[in-house]
Amino acid sequence: MAGELIKMEHICKEFPGVKALDDVTFELKAGEVHALVGENGAGKSTLMKVLTGVYTKDSGKILLNGEEISINNVRDAQRKGIIMIHQELNLMNHLTAAQNIFIGREYKTKAKVFLDAKSQNQEAKKLFERLNQDIDPTVKVGDLTVAKQQMVEIAKALSYDSKILIMDEPTAALTDNEIEDLFRVIRMLREEGRAIIHISHRLEELKQISDRITVMRDGGYVDTVNTKDTSIDQIIKMMVGREIFVTKQDAFTQKDNKVTLEVRNLNAGRMVRNVTFQAREGEILGLAGLVGAGRTETARAIFGADPHESGEILVHGKPVKISSPSDAVNAGIAYLSEDRKRYGLALGLSVDENVCMADMTDFLKALVFINFKKSRDNTTKQKESLSIKTPSIKQKVKLLSGGNQQKVVLAKWLTRNSDILIFDEPTRGIDIGAKNEIYKLMNQLAAEGKTIIVISSELPEIIRTCHRVLVMCEGRITGEVTGDEIDQNVIMGYATKREA
């Protein structure tokens, strides 16, 4: 191997109030899968955005095959063969797979006027075959699964003959089979001599797929190690700068605690069928299952975000009619969406404005005027008790890291005094350190008597946080496990228990 393909030296990048990258160095060899890890806010995304031309660096050098290059925008990077596959895929849902791949470089007929759909589709088909994917080039991308959409993105990168592929959390929304398929493709790309930068929080999978791992922390470079010479614990230590102990939750002992939420025969579309369960004060109840099992749909139906056809919802023993989120909020139910940016936060508004969004009535004086002092005091209190890291409560939330954004959402609901909190994938896109903080907060809230419902696709997360777990499959609850019974294999058994 003749040296480095890409070398980033002493990269610095500053945003107002935050030093996002501080003298970071990163090397990438051809034909390797290079994992980039670090807690959220460690600077991984920023570094990659500098490499792909989304941001321009304040200082430092980028070398391609030993020659210094300047990357000023995404097209520059694309031309030099650097492509990023974002976590939120950049595809146009209404266009077909082939149209997405060749967007901006459409095949034309000889006259150079008319589009040549036929050869374009054939070319796309060839790319898919190379990836061993059975995707119809004429199908609209919006109709494909996330995993297939990802393959379309990879095919697009291949069509540019990109030498460097950056994948940001590619496995976050995939099932195990899909992950295996993706890894097979990644290995194939590596065999072809391409370099892959793999950003992920799932350290177990990095162990499987990567050759080298670079760790970042707080905007700085920590170390680069060979994967085979290191252990997950060591990487975690490098990431957080401390060791982490994981303990399993004790079984829920206070069985006589009051039932706070009861759902009876809830039906909502295909994905929520006859769902019945109870949750108690102080309990952390898990909702496990594979992606598409109907857990989020159940939560949204309970919260009134989507309508339900039938069923009863009782809060503190009293039936409540929930036809909109505001009904649910008034009944004391809170929902922390899996997609914070889309459903949880007004990104352009400040921390303060977001925290008091769900309950302004408490922050009014003379019935109509906003009591800014009271609102600020509350936000400051929440900021301290949840240790939200922000330079100021006036900071726009889009400038915060994922973990801190999640805390802002949580602060919003705690301000509302909600006593039933539904966490949907509470730690998605959140680094390990912040994850543990969120777990700790959930425990603390449960100890205060709140009811916590956790939806998670990560079994270790369910196992470590929940007193009791309901497992869903195809819109039904297929099993319930408590305390010591909570076990990966048992849960997976129920999660795949399809209808006969």
Partner 1 sequence: MKVKSLLKNKDVSHKLIILATFFLLVIFFSIMKPSYASYDNIMTILLATCVNGLLALGCSFVIITGGIDISVGTVMTFSCVMSGTAFTVWHFPIWLAILFGFLVGTLCGAINGFAVAKMMLPPFIATMAMQMITKGLSLVVSGIKPVYFTGADGYQNIAIGEFLGIPGFYNAIIILVIAAIVAHILFSRILIGRYDLAIGSNEEAARLSGIKVNQWKIGIYALCGLFCGVAGLVMSSRLNSAQPQLGPGYELEAIAAAVIGGNSLTGGEGSIVGTLIGALIISSLTNGLRIMAVSTEIQSAIVGLVLALAVFFDQMRRKKG
**Closest distance between partner 1 and the C-beta of residue 348, in Å?**
4
How far is the C-alpha of 403 from the C-alpha of 432, rounded, in Å?
10
Between 78 and 337, whose beta carbon lies closer to partner 1?
Answer: 337
The pair of structure tokens assigned to 12 is 């610095």
Among 360, 373, 377, 487, binds partner 1 (CB under 8 A): 360
Between 23 and 353, whose beta carbon lies closer to partner 1?
Answer: 353
**Closest distance between partner 1 and the C-beta of residue 323, in Å?**
11
How far is the C-alpha of 86 from the C-alpha of 129, rounded, in Å?
23
Could you tell me which stretch among 99-107, 161-169, 354-362, 460-468 binds partner 1 (CB under 8 A)? 354-362
Three-point CA angle 10, 12, 17, nearest 5°: 155
Between 26 and 363, whose beta carbon lies closer to partner 1?
Answer: 363
What backbone torsions phi and psi does residue 140 show, to the nearest 5 degrees? -70, 135
**Closest distance between partner 1 and the C-beta of residue 280, in Å?**
24
Between 80 and 416, whose beta carbon lies closer to partner 1?
Answer: 416
Answer yes or no whether residue 370 interacts with partner 1 by CB under 8 A: yes
Answer yes or no whether residue 342 interacts with partner 1 by CB under 8 A: yes
How far is the C-alpha of 149 from the C-alpha of 147, rounded, in Å?
5
Answer yes or no whether residue 330 interacts with partner 1 by CB under 8 A: yes
Q: Judge contact between 11 and 25, C-beta under 8 A.
A: yes
How far is the C-alpha of 112 from the C-alpha of 102, rounded, in Å?
15
Binding to partner 1 (CB under 8 A): which residues in 2-21? 16
412-441 footprint of partner 1 as x/- string (CB under 8 A): x---x-------------------------
Q: How many CB atoms lie within 10 A of CB 105?
A: 10
Binding to partner 1 (CB under 8 A): which residues in 162-181? none
Between 153 and 352, whose beta carbon lies closer to partner 1?
Answer: 352
Q: Which DSSP string corresponds to 426-469?
A: TTTT--HHHHHHHHHHHHHHHHTT-EEEEE-S-HHHHHHH-SEE
Number of residues binding to partner 1, judged by CB under 8 A:
31
Contacts of 63 (CB under 8 A, 6+ apart): 4, 6, 7, 8, 9, 69
Contact footprint for partner 1 (CB under 8 A): 16, 303, 305, 324-326, 328-330, 335, 337, 342-349, 353, 357-360, 364, 368-370, 372, 412, 416
